Amino acid sequence: MIRYALACGDGHEFEAWFGSSGDYDEQAARGLVECPICGSTSVRKQIMAPAVTGTKKTAPTPQAQAVMMEALGRARKHVEENFEYVGDAFAREARDIHDGVAPDRAIYGEARPAEVKKLLEDGVPVAPLPPAIAPRPKTRVN
């Protein structure tokens, strides 16, 4: 996995994770990388220092967590509105598309973990869909 600092044409700065630098290039070329704030697909990489891990872990701020949740929601909504739902036939359809047996198209659906593992081992590009996030009711915490 690789994390990039990105910015859209309107100057909004954000970060995103990709499986590889090639994944970013491919998704950006297809217009799939978009700003979580304004939805612009005019996105470019920013200069970024390499990540150095330490032993101290910090939780994201509530504002950062809200931005992440909104971005995940937008990603899921984009898939649901623009990709073809194939249900539990996902693994077969993904393999057929990859092998050129079925027409090339964007799909989503369900697959068992073993099916996903086999697809990845065979070089079929798949990724989990962000979960549907229902707003949580506000409760008092003591």
Mention every residue, 6+ apart, whose C-beta is less than 8 A from residue 14: 5, 6, 7, 8, 35, 36, 37, 67, 71
Q: What is the predicted pLDDT for the residue at 96?
A: 96
**Does this model's pTM top 0.75?**
no
pLDDT at 64 (0 to 100)? 86
Which pLDDT score is estimated for 108? 94
| CA 10-16-17 angle, 5° bins | 160
pLDDT at 97: 95
Low-confidence residues of the chain: pLDDT under 50: none
Residue 122: per-residue pLDDT: 93
Question: Which 8-state DSSP code applies to residue 38?
Answer: T
Spatial distance between the Cα atoms of 95 and 41, rounded to a whole number of angstroms: 28
Q: What is the predicted pLDDT for the residue at 136?
A: 59
| Cα 142 to Cα 108: distance, rounded to the nearest angstrom | 41
Q: What is the pLDDT of residue 104?
A: 94
Coil, helix or strand at residue 7: strand
